[in-house]
Structure formats: C-alpha cells, structure tokens
Amino acid sequence: MSQDKLVGPLTTPLSTRGIPRWITYLLTLIGIIYLLNPTAGLLELLPDNLPFIGNLDEGVAMMLIWYGLVEFFEGAEPGSD
C-alpha cells in the first residue's frame, strides 16, 4: 500500500469531499472549545479515568481541529462553495 493512500484522507480538505467549509470550521471551533475546557462539567463524553478509551474524546476533538487546519491551508478558494 502506498503512502499516498495512507496519508491522503488526513491531508485532503473536507470541502473536496462535498462538506461545506462552514461546517468544517464550526466543527473545528467545537473541537477547540472542548480541548480548552474538557472537564468543565458541561460535557465530558468519556471519563478520562477509563483505561485506554478515556482519551478518545480528546482524540476526536484533535482530529476536528486537524481537519479545520487542513481546510484552512489546503482548501478551495474563498467564495467557491
């Protein structure tokens, strides 16, 4: 399996897959808010004291931020959606 097939899904903007840019940026904002205050008591999806799976929610939040950064730097020109 080539490296492009492994890395491609992580480096392709979501707008090229049909997801509007504003949704990508909204999900990125949600991820940033969640990571800045993960245990505020408002929303803790998985308790961090669960072995191995306790940090999955923070991992998902980081992926949301990652896709927002990919969209910002590699996405379509503004106004094209």
The model's pTM: 0.74
As a whole number, mean pLDDT of residues 49-56 equals: 76
Band of the pLDDT at 24, cuts 50, 70, 90? Answer: very high
- At residue 5, the pLDDT reads 67
Band of the pLDDT at 17, cuts 50, 70, 90? Answer: confident
User: C-alpha distances in angstroms, 7 versus 1, 4, 21, 50?
Assistant: 11, 5, 21, 30
Max CA pair span of the chain: 45
Q: Tell me, what DSSP letter sits at residue 78?
A: T
Q: Given a cut of 80, is residue 26 above it in pLDDT?
A: yes
Residues 6+ apart with CB under 8 A from 24: 13, 14, 15, 67, 68, 71, 75
Residues 6+ apart with CB under 8 A from 18: none
